[in-house]
Amino acid sequence: MNDVLQAELTATYDRRFAERSDYRRRVWAILVREFFQSLIPEHGTVLDLGCGWGEFVNQIRARRRFGMDLNPSCPDHLEEGVTFLHQDCAQRWNLDDNSLEAIFTSNFLEHLATKAALQATLTEAFRCLRPGGRIICLGPNIKYLPGAYWDFWDHFVPLTDLSLKEGLELIGFRVERCVDRFLPYTMATGFRWPPRTVSLYLRLPLLWRWIGKQFLLIAVKP
């Protein structure tokens, strides 16, 4: 990846996240503590795929933590103890076979350039997860965002819960949970939910049906 493209990527992250970085961190602290931590073994190794500024990986408890991203400025935002992998996720990962207990990715897969790149990425995820390991995917569901999905310049691959489910299954994953409506669309723009309401929202799945615009998929490597 050349220097110009890396500079553009850094500028995009700064424009999109800098003004809301503290708010995002506080919301993710609740999401991790009250929902996602139960899916991540504390004794295991976890990869945050498309880790960005580390809102998830900085706060998850695990024996070993990796973050992967193309943005060269990401390490500036990652805690000590998080190993940064600066690479294209569609290329072979710098990780051993069966070396991860969990992979987490949020609002990232839609930024890949093509379905072929997505397929290559999920294939690498399958290789690196140990048998019984999980991949957890969170992202905007174009089924409920037919226009707003494209409001971000770097959204390329349109995904629904069912299209990603099929893609995971074709690679060999067994999908444990497929939720078409989970979280609201974005924290990058728009209304800021008071962090204290996040706990209540997570405990009331009925609200997900009204407000949720992002899917949640949890799949296991058999």
Confidence at residue 192, expressed as pLDDT on a 0 to 100 scale: 78
Q: Is 71 helix (H, G, I), strand (E, B) or coil?
A: coil
Cα separations (Å) of 150 from 49, 82, 105, 111?
22, 32, 20, 11
Q: Indicate the pairing of strand 64-69 with strand 82-86.
A: parallel
Long-range contacts at 57-64 (CB < 8 A, ≥ 24 apart) = 57/82, 57/104, 58/25, 58/82, 59/25, 59/28, 59/29, 59/32, 59/33, 60/32, 60/36, 60/104, 61/37, 62/101, 62/102
Q: Looking at residue 35, what is its pLDDT? A: 97
**Distance between CA 91 and CA 186 in Å, rounded?**
28
Nearest partner of 214 among 194, 175, 188, 195, judged by Cα: 188
Write down all domains in the chain, each with its CATH number in brackets.
3-220 (3.40.50.150)
Query: Region 123-139: what's the mean pLDDT?
Result: 98
Q: What is the pLDDT of residues 31-60, one digit of tens each?
A: 999 999 999 999 999 999 999 999 999 999
> What is the pLDDT at residue 41?
97
Note the pLDDT tens digit of each residue in 188-215: 556 777 888 999 999 999 999 999 999 9
- The pLDDT > 70 percentage for the chain reads 90
pLDDT for res 187: 62
Whose CA is closest to 213, among 136, 165, 145? 145
Confidence check: pLDDT of 15 > 80? no
Given this model, what pLDDT does residue 13 score?
A: 63
Q: CA-CA distance, 74 to 127, in Å (whole number)?
A: 25
Instruction: Give pLDDT, residue 76.
Output: 94
Q: Is the pTM of this model over 0.75?
A: yes
Rounded Cα–Cα distance for residues 22 and 126 (Å): 33
Q: How confident is the model at residue 21 (pLDDT cuts 50, 70, 90)?
A: confident
What integer pLDDT is reported at residue 176 of this predicted model?
A: 98
- Give the residue-averaged pLDDT of 70-75: 92
Give the pLDDT confidence of 137-191 residue by residue, as tens digits: 999 999 999 899 998 889 999 999 999 999 999 999 999 999 999 999 976 556 7
Output the pLDDT for position 95. Answer: 98
- Per the prediction, the chain carries an average pLDDT of 92
